[in-house]
Amino acid sequence: MNVLSLFSGIGGLELGLERAGMHVVGQVEINPYCRQVLAKHWPDVPRHDDVRTTIPWWESETRPDVHVVAGGFPCPDISNAGPRTGITGERSGLWKAMFGVIGHLRPRYALVENVAALTVRGLDTVLADLASIGFDAEWSTVSACALGAPHTRERLFLLAYPQSVGRQRWRNAGPGQALLESEGCVPESVRSWSAESAPLGVAYGLPGRVDRVTALGNAVVPQVAEVIGRRLLAVAA
């Protein structure tokens, strides 16, 4: 299953989805530091620097089919730690660009990640936009600590798919723990939070602590993305 990643950051979402068995075929990220990290870990994957021009870039040459459009659009206007202007804010308003890519490419699935506060500052807009192009959606809030991480990092994950394929249950069982514990979908390799799970490294000589900490702070936890990816593949089978 091929993944086009938007707002890629340092690739935490892609890393988890690849561990689940998917294949990344494209990445879009505007931050130069993050693009250097992506180039280190995905040297053969084509990259673009602006989600707003993803469609002409993607169609500028022959590309693989896209089965999943995945990404966490910016959260500063949605987060409780930000101005709380919501999904119409200057940065979080880039949801419209992601929605445009989904509507144009019409993948089998769209995977959207954001802070849990999206439920009160924009989830209704996301659902209405997806419904307008015939997509249904299911979502759940998942915490990194549910997978053994030493921090909470609560995030909302939404899986959307065309209504024409029928309502495929993503087992939206409620709180993250119920979602993760059902049917043994969390492998022991994920639960252990081993050294393999360390944050993505960067090439020697790249910019230092400020860029690195910012990038890590914005990143999706790969272990959570892996579980979501495994669930998606199980549903699609």
Q: Which CATH number is 24's domain given?
A: 3.40.50.150
At residue 143, the pLDDT reads: 84
pLDDT tens for residues 118-131? Answer: 999 999 999 999 99
Listing DSSP states for 11-69 in one string gives SHHHHHHHHHT-EEEEEE---HHHHHHHHHH-TTS-EES-GGGHHHHHTTS-----SEE
Query: How sure is the predictor about 18, in pLDDT bands with cuts at 50, 70 and 90?
Result: very high
CA distance 90 to 116: 19
75 included as an active-site residue: yes
Query: Residue 76 corresponds to which tokens in the numbers above?
Result: 């500063």
At residue 219, the pLDDT reads: 74
- Give percent above pLDDT 90 in the chain: 59
**φ/ψ of residue 47, rounded to 5:** -130, 150
pLDDT tens for residues 141-200? Answer: 888 877 777 778 889 999 999 987 655 555 444 444 444 444 444 555 554 444 444 444
Mean local confidence (pLDDT), 6-18: 95
Task: Please report, as a single letter, which amino acid is at residue 82.
Answer: G
Catalytic residue among 34, 75, 145, 185: 75
Mean local confidence (pLDDT), 210-235: 79
Domain that includes residue 136, residue range? 2-236
At residue 146, the pLDDT reads: 76
* CB-based contact 182:220 (threshold 8 Å): no
CA distance 32 to 27: 13
- Tally of domains in the chain: 1
Q: Is the pLDDT of residue 224 over 80?
A: yes
